[in-house]
Amino acid sequence: MLEACALSDKGCVRANNEDYSLIDPEMGLYVLADGMGGAKAGERASRLAVETVSASILTAANRDSQALLVAVEEANRRVLDAAGGDPALEGMGTTLVVALEVGDELLIASVGDSRAYLLDHNGLRAITEDQSWVNEVGRPLGLNEEALRTHPMRHVLTMAIGAGNALEINYYHDIRLRTGDMLLMCSDGLHGVVDEPRIEAILRAPNQTLDVKTRGLIDAARGAGGPDNITAVLLRAA
């Protein structure tokens, strides 16, 4: 059994919230997207991607790895089609991270730099790898973390839903939560602002509901300036 909670906040700087999330424990589906684009395009992209994934999984013959990957590919097609049909939506896109419960394991697919973390007895660690300039170019070049935090390319993604037909999906499997373990999915408004030791401390605080822990994550990001939209989806094995 998994408990689940999701919370989103526009942060302290942005005028609107382009993040979107969904939790559907009955279907075993948990989705988060961080949209981008002018005007309201980012909001449209993130919501469309999440709703497309949900509809695709719901109608899949089998809920398995193939269904998960097909759902993400369909989200990419739908966002591309929407942008191509409306000049106001041109250039819109979104990150996407999806967790699907299959039997006793979680399958995870990600595009962009929204992340999934696992918290267990070994500590907090990222499951997903960012598809970003920082991760794929900056770090291999040997730039240190301090330089990367202020680099002008730090927000550039190398892959996103809606960026093109050639989609690369990162896929992870065999993730099993034991009693008390947690899975955190979040946008970069959280992981790009609050460091991992602080995130882990909030998640490990004793005798708190998931609602309280999720609110604590949002408050920590806002307390650090909240420069971006902040969304967290938190799962815990009961």
Are 3 and 203 spatial neighbours (Cβ–Cβ below 8 Å)? no
Flag whether pLDDT at 154 surpasses 80. Answer: no
159: pLDDT confidence band, cut at 50, 70 and 90? very high
Q: Quick one: what percent of the chain has pLDDT higher than 70?
A: 98
How many structural domains compose the chain? Answer: 1
Please write the tens of the pLDDT for every residue from 106-122.
999 999 999 999 999 99
Mean model confidence pLDDT for the chain: 94
70: pLDDT confidence band, cut at 50, 70 and 90? very high
Q: What is the CATH number of the domain that holds 130?
A: 3.60.40.10
Question: Any idea what the Cα angle at residue 169 is, between residues 40 and 150, rounded to 5°?
Answer: 60
Flag whether pLDDT at 150 surpasses 90. Answer: no
Residue 43's domain comprises 2-237
Q: Nearest-CA neighbor of 184 among 161, 167, 200?
A: 200
Which residues, including other chains, have CB under 8 Å from residue 16's CB and lie 6 or more apart? 10, 40, 43
Flag whether pLDDT at 39 surpasses 70. Answer: no
Cα–Cα distance between 95 and 15 in angstroms, integer?
Answer: 19
